[in-house]
Amino acid sequence: MAKSKSALVTNTVKINDRCQLVNLRLNNETEFSYAGGKYIIVNSGIEIAPEKTAKRAYSIIKKEGDNVLLSALQLKDGVGSQFINKLVVGDEVPFSGPWGKLTLQKDHSHHQIIATDTGISAALGLVTSNEIQPYLSKSKLFWFRPETNQFLSDNFVLETLPEGLGDVTIQSIAEINDEERQGQAQEIANHIHREAGTHYYLVGDGHMVLTIKDKLISLGVTEEQISMEIFFNKPAKP
């Protein structure tokens, strides 16, 4: 069983009606082995079944000292997201982690981070991390989201990016689960610059992430050059 930890809410900012930023200060005794791209699992304490509470994963946008910044999108009937969107300064938040496999691969000199939708939170964690600093000028960030995006704003994303990032692209795509997304995923993979020594990080909509991965491999990229973190539309387990 994962060890439970806790942090204190020091600030909250409403981005819009459905999205809130939450800044947490880690308790002094909390062990926190962080690397950019990881997430924590917040325990709401709200019982959803006998001896089972609602828990939800939140990517760390950035970490500064003992402070970590999260973003939460309010989901319809989402008990976990309702909990975190109602947090106020002074609340204590139980969590476990950090977890995740979307961490910087230092054996590559170039890094391309391709995020869709809410996957931008993990992507920001990567590009704001200390680990990427030596490679920042050779790193690129792509964010694909629908026009009706109700998560982080374009301005927030641009203001959060570190100086010296090689390039950033923010582009509109079809709505989530729209059949046009598969064709758009193919186009994204076709237009991503492929060069030796590059690692690709794919994060967000599972349908698009897997399509982009398969297309990149068909174009000569190896599986070892690709890391993935699927936020939603996960493939069914065999």
pLDDT at 1 over 60: no
Set out the domains of the chain in order of their start, with CATH numbers: 5-99 (2.40.30.10), 110-232 (3.40.50.80)
187/142 Cα distance (integer angstroms): 13
Band (pLDDT 50/70/90 cuts) for residue 2 is: low
Average pLDDT over residues 64-81: 86
Report phi then psi at 58, rounded to 5. Answer: -135, 125
Percentage of the chain modeled with pLDDT above 90: 76
Average pLDDT over residues 135-142: 96
The first and second tokens of residue 35, run together, are 């690397």
Band (pLDDT 50/70/90 cuts) for residue 74 is: confident
pLDDT at 192 over 90: no
- Cβ(138)–Cβ(198) under 8 Å? no
Q: From the centroid of its chain, how far is CA 95?
A: 17
Average pLDDT, the chain: 92
Q: What is the pLDDT of residue 161?
A: 97
pLDDT tens column, 107-136:
999 999 999 999 999 999 999 999 999 999
224/140 Cα distance (integer angstroms): 19
Q: What is the pLDDT of residue 223?
A: 95
The first and second tokens of residue 41, run together, are 């699992």
Which residues sit opposite 53 in a β-bridge? Answer: 47
Average pLDDT over residues 31-46: 92
The first and second tokens of residue 177, run together, are 């689960």
Q: What is the pLDDT of residue 29?
A: 67
